[in-house]
Amino acid sequence: MGSRAHFPAESTRLLQRLQAVRQHSECLIDGLEPEDLCLQGMADASPAKWHLGHTTWFFETFLLEPHLSGHETPDRRWGHLFNSYYEAIGSRHPRPQRGLLTRPAIGEVLAWRRRVDAGLETLLLELDHRPAEAAAPLLALVELGLQHEQQHQELLLMDLLDGFSRNPLEPAYGQEPPGASAPESPGGWRSHPGGLVAIGHAGDGFHFDNEAPRHRQWLEPFLVAETLVSNDDYAAFIADDGYRRPELWMSEGWAVVQERGWCAPRYWRGDWEFGLSGRRPRHPQAPVRHLSWFEADAFARWSGGRLPSEAEWELVVTEASQPGGRPLPQAFGALWQWTATPYRPYPGFQPATGAVGEYNGKFMTSQFVLRGSSFLTPAGHARPTYRNFFAPHCRWMAAGLRLARDGASEPC
């Protein structure tokens, strides 16, 4: 006979987190009109209503339907509408057409969320009475679902910003979350001797599968900038014909610049920039944001530096957070930071079994890693080993850059 679960503290904690995370998703649409909830400005983005439905579908599909007796979905066809990329689960509505889904109406989606939330609460209470070996994987899956929903909270805001930016009326979502402001500390460089180092999650606490296993890498001596590149810094790159000098760009990036007519970061409008609070004056010392990897790489080359590798970034941030360490400014809560590292599996990586194994592993190609977190990232959703990733042309997310250089001390 297996031992009883006896996880009341764990299930209670998860129940509280469940309520907080799920409520926060709905708070994000407070003040929006029904028309706003179906807004899809481009194929890469998704409407706010879709995000609310997809995160609900995730919990229902992976937890309630297989593990809660008696649970029934209100409409089985909704699985086709709100499946994102899980091939093992079934068919999916085309991503570029999510903005056409005026039905189900938002009221039906919110009622579905209430039903799924109630089912999850019932399941968590039941897990207190199941054998530990049966309960533990389900508790872990609940935590994965909550982390997944927090990812979609950030996606919802950045997708909404993209959609609002395309409206000539320049609508404002509301007060922008703090975080992407000018640094309080001066610039400069932080040196590291490199050597044989270990990166990746050590295994204690939640982490996504792509953060493991922990492994070793060799690093040559390097320097990283104390602060992120500012709007003023990037304006100097533009003034020096940065967008018209092919020698600064990767060939693919130069082709994108020509094809799309890029001449500034995504939301720059003269001396202003567009954000969730609408059009506002651009602060010269605030970190430049909404850059693609191609733009970040071109700026780094123009400046005489380079982008840091993800191992360099993680090593400096981790050591800086140790007792007695000096925190690296703007590491978290400002902007995601592009690295020079292609998004690939760590040595020994194994995706989870079943459909949830499609969560990260299938995207480990043609993308680059970003580190840190942004002012749109939910509280508590960042850590030094977190590996975000996007294709190099993407720039609607809140991404900036921190420079790096080769060497063991600050250059003259």
pLDDT digits (tens, 9 = 90+) for 294-340: 999 999 999 999 999 999 999 999 999 999 999 999 999 999 999 99
- Global pTM reads 0.95
Rounded Cα distance, 66 and 60, in Å: 9
Rounded Cα distance, 246 and 253, in Å: 9
Rounded Cα distance, 56 and 116, in Å: 7
Alpha-carbon distance values, 274 to 39, 266, 335 (Å): 17, 9, 16
Angle, CA 201 vertex, CA 338 and CA 19 arms, to 5°: 90
- What pLDDT is attached to residue 183? 62
Does an H or E element contain 195, and which?
strand 195-199
- What pLDDT is attached to residue 87? 86
Which amino acid belongs to residue 94? P
- What pLDDT is attached to residue 8? 64
Q: Where are the alpha helices (DSSP H) in 60-194?
A: 65-67, 78-82, 106-127, 132-165
**Neighbour count for residue 185 (Cβ, 10 Å):** 12
CA-based nearest residue to 362, from 143, 216, 159, 209: 209
Give residues with Cβ within 8 angstroms of 169, minimum separation 6: none
**Neighbour count for residue 301 (Cβ, 10 Å):** 17
Residues in the chain where the model's pLDDT stays below 70: 1-8, 179-186, 355, 358, 409-412
Rg (C-alpha) for the chain, rounded Å, is: 22
- What pLDDT is attached to residue 241? 98
Handedness of CA 280, 284, 287, 293 (dihedral sign): positive
Rounded Cα distance, 335 and 174, in Å: 19
- What pLDDT is attached to residue 11? 80
Rounded Cα distance, 124 and 37, in Å: 31
Over residues 12-34, the pLDDT tens digits come to 889 999 999 999 999 999 999 99
The residue behind tokens 């409409």 is 75
Long-range CB pairs of 298-301 (<8 Å, 24+ gap) are: 298/237, 298/242, 298/248, 298/249, 298/250, 298/253, 299/229, 299/233, 299/234, 299/237, 299/242, 299/401, 300/401, 300/403, 300/404, 301/248
Alpha-carbon distance values, 372 to 194, 207, 219, 260, 398 (Å): 20, 14, 20, 28, 11
- What pLDDT is attached to residue 351? 85
